[in-house]
Amino acid sequence: MADLSNFDANSVGNPNFNIFGLPSTEEESRLVILPIPWEVTVSYNAGTARAPDHICKASLQVDLFDPEIKDAWRKGYFMRTPDKKILMKSDYLRKEAELYINYISQGEILEENKFMCKSLREINQGSLFLNDWVYEQTKELLAQGKLVGLLGGDHSTPLGYFKAIADTYGDFGILQIDAHCDLRKAYEGFNYSHASIMYNAIEQIPQLKKLVQVGVRDYCEEELEYKENAGDRIEIYFDKDIKERQYEGDTWKQIVDEIVAKLPQNVFISFDIDGLDPKLCPHTGTPVQGGFQTDQVFYLFKKLLQSGRKVLGFDLNEVGVSNDEWDENVGARVLYKLCNLLIASNG
């Protein structure tokens, strides 16, 4: 484990060090952040593929003192350098996807255009490659006894990590913070769309026993029907329902206690930043009005930890990049809270 006994947590963040200005190496660190520079299937705003680098830079401004989870950073946090080959593949396929999306949005018939059919095949093959790559990377880190946080990129990125979690720990549940259900089947023809991540997780991972989605406020009828057919396996706390319950007298604590009670003992946190109020993440891939303040979500995390449930890992996705670095600043602070939570839950 990293020897940070002489590290001055009150000093300015050193850009020559790693994430949050910490000097620990990957070998020394208890927690490894795996950046995934991938945004091939985004259907609105692009830019999230380059979020890990921007978040790392912004993380130097994050104060290491967390009054609720003190000194978790002393266990060592390390973020790998984003893989340039993955980024290059994402950039290439993203251009293909833009042409394809524009084509089908005009009402054109896909089967009549061989080039577009080829593009769709390449995109789906590329996404399958990414899933396998993420699986191998995270499975290896877990086998080394590391705690792992995945940093996207778009929300399609963690499927391979979910599978590694399932293979390593067995049955588990996902707590998803998101403006969207992500339960669409092959959205826009993309088998592994950011809008299909939870559909694919439910369909492909039998060890995923429970999915609890919180903050959803933008979804389609197909997703609602899929949720109903899934029975107790999927629970959705819609943003509208949460707010109306609070208008009528329920406290956030009461609602949070319900949410936590629906989760199994082993929990993975999947955090799409668009679950927050878009004033906190205006450049996210698909912003939607409404949503949470960070302190509301952090309170949910606090109660999850107090419940004695074990957090197995997390992903943070859809953080945008901007000229004023606001999105990255918020993203860095959310990332830090998730890191501290993961450490605290695993001793």
Rounded CA separation 237/212 (Å): 8
pLDDT of residue 239: 98
Q: What percentage of residues in the chain have a pLDDT greater than 90?
A: 85
Q: What is the pLDDT of residues 315-324, one digit of tens each?
A: 999 999 988 8
Pairwise pLDDT comparison (258 vs 44), residue with the higher score: 258
pLDDT of residue 5: 73
Contact 4, 22 (CB under 8 A): yes
Q: What is the pLDDT of residues 307-343, one digit of tens each?
A: 999 999 999 999 999 888 999 999 999 999 999 999 9
Pairwise pLDDT comparison (112 vs 165), residue with the higher score: 165
pLDDT of residue 188: 86
Rounded CA separation 8/258 (Å): 40
And the tokens for 339?
């890191």
Domains of the chain (ranges; CATH) run 19-345 (3.40.800.10)
pLDDT of residue 102: 86
Q: What is the mean pLDDT of residues 62-66?
A: 96
Q: What is the pLDDT of residues 247-264, one digit of tens each?
A: 999 999 999 999 999 999
Q: What is the pLDDT of residues 176-231, one digit of tens each?
A: 999 999 999 988 889 999 999 999 999 999 999 999 999 999 999 999 999 999 99
CB within 8 Å of 256: residues ≥ 6 apart: 299, 300, 303
pLDDT of residue 108: 74
Report whether pLDDT(238) > 90.
Answer: yes
pLDDT of residue 106: 80
Q: What is the mean pLDDT of residues 162-184?
A: 98
DSSP string, 131-198: HHHHHHHHHHHHHTT-EEEEEESSTTTTHHHHHHHHHHH-SEEEEEE-SB----SSGGG-TT-GGGHH
**CB atoms closer than 10 angstroms to residue 294:** 14
pLDDT of residue 2: 60
pLDDT of residue 167: 98
pLDDT of residue 1: 57
Pairwise pLDDT comparison (76 vs 106), residue with the higher score: 76
